[in-house]
Amino acid sequence: MTVPDFSELAQYLVSALSLGGLYALMALGLVIVYGILRLVNFAYGELVMVGGYGLLLFGDTPLPWIIVAILSIIAAVIAALLMERVAFRPVRNSSATTLLITSFAVSNLLQNIALLAISPRPRAPRLPDIFVKNVTVAGVQFKIVDLIALLVSLIALGALTVFLRRTVIGLALRAAADDFTMTRLLGIRANMVIAAAFAVSGFMAGIVAIFWVGSSGQTWPTVGLQPVLIAFIASVVGGMATLKGAVLGGYVLGFLTMGLQTWLPQGVNAYRDAVMFGIVILVLLIRPDGLIRPSYSRESR
């Protein structure tokens, strides 16, 4: 292998950081709900799908694209809140298995509704040309969308940090993620906290949808499958128990994916997913809490 020159390294760094940021957002949306409900929400991918179809639907209107993007994020948030109210609230106190299967059913339901009501075929929403253009900075070519994704993910992470640290709901969310029963005993309303967690989850899914659909240029009923699987690996590797773990896992996975893609031979690359899920099993066995462990032990798994 040749030593990568400066421009290749800079390109790698930017694309890995932007991909990692996106993965971190995906993982955060999954972990924020898991932290409170112990629910691995498979239907999270369908929130991404809702966001994607939002782009398609609102893109048909003459609205400026930034408004279209905001409306799509709002659509994903509303879908997340509805999902919580209709499907997850009634089974909230059931076992982890029941919750997981419910989320599987919700995911299947939404996919098939999209199949039935929209189309099984991929559709291309109207996208601004920033998604395809390149820009040259200091002699190195970057994709504009990579730079924007990098920036947006950092802003979103920053905003979430401020929200969790500086607002009452944020404090309640963090407390609930540590010890939900205790938080409820202290007079925090469970419904409010859980709805807030789902809203954050929907918000993340909405942002992810814009870049995910934007980079492939299309949206289809199972568009959310890959993001939810990525979120899943990132959060297991980083640590399902803490939000920091999700972020770290996202960036680790982003760097790993870009690294393998850039420097692995094509033949081996075909097995990339198999290797990554193998790593998930290994992490679960060797370090079940992921890279970042919770600050104190909670009730046994």
Binding site for another protein (CB under 8 A): 38, 40, 87, 90-91, 94-98, 100-102, 104-106, 108-109, 111-113, 115-117, 120, 225, 229, 232, 236, 270-271, 273-274, 277-278, 280-281, 284-285, 288, 301
As beta bridge partners, residue 143 has 134
Residue closer to another protein by CB (options 101, 144) is 101
DSSP 8-state code for residue 298:
-
**Cα 179–Cα 185–Cα 191 angle in degrees, nearest 5:** 80
| Six token digits for residue 41 | 């929400």
Burial class of residue 28 in the structure, from the number of CB atoms within 10 Å of its CB (0-12 exposed, 13-18 middle, 19+ buried): buried
- Report the nearest approach of another protein to the CB of residue 102 (Å): 5
Nearer to another protein, 48 or 210 (CB): 48
**Token pair of 206 as six digits:** 């909405």
Please say which residue, 113 or 135, places its beta carbon nearer to another protein.
Answer: 113
Q: How many CB atoms lie within 10 A of CB 265?
A: 7
Smallest distance from the beta carbon of 80 to another protein, in angstroms?
16
How far apart are CB 269 and another protein at their closest, in Å?
A: 10
Give me the least distance between CB of 152 and another protein, in Å please.
29
Which candidate, 17, 7, 40, 101, places its Cα nearest to that of 231?
40
- CA distances to 6, 8, 9, 14, 264 from 3, rounded to whole Å, are 10, 10, 10, 18, 14
Which is nearest to 48 in space by CA: 72, 66, 16? 72
In whole angstroms, the minimum distance from the beta carbon of 284 to another protein comes to 5
Shortest approach of another protein to residue 5 CB, angstroms? 32
Own/partner pairs, 150-153, CB within 8 angstroms, 24+ separation: 150/14, 150/17, 150/18, 150/21, 152/21, 152/207, 152/211, 153/18, 153/21, 153/22, 153/24, 153/25, 153/207
Nearer to another protein, 53 or 232 (CB): 232
Of 9 and 82, which has the nearer Cβ to another protein?
A: 82
| Residue among 70 and 225 whose Cβ is closer to another protein | 225
Nearer to another protein, 175 or 229 (CB): 229
Minimum CB separation of residue 95 from another protein in Å reads 8
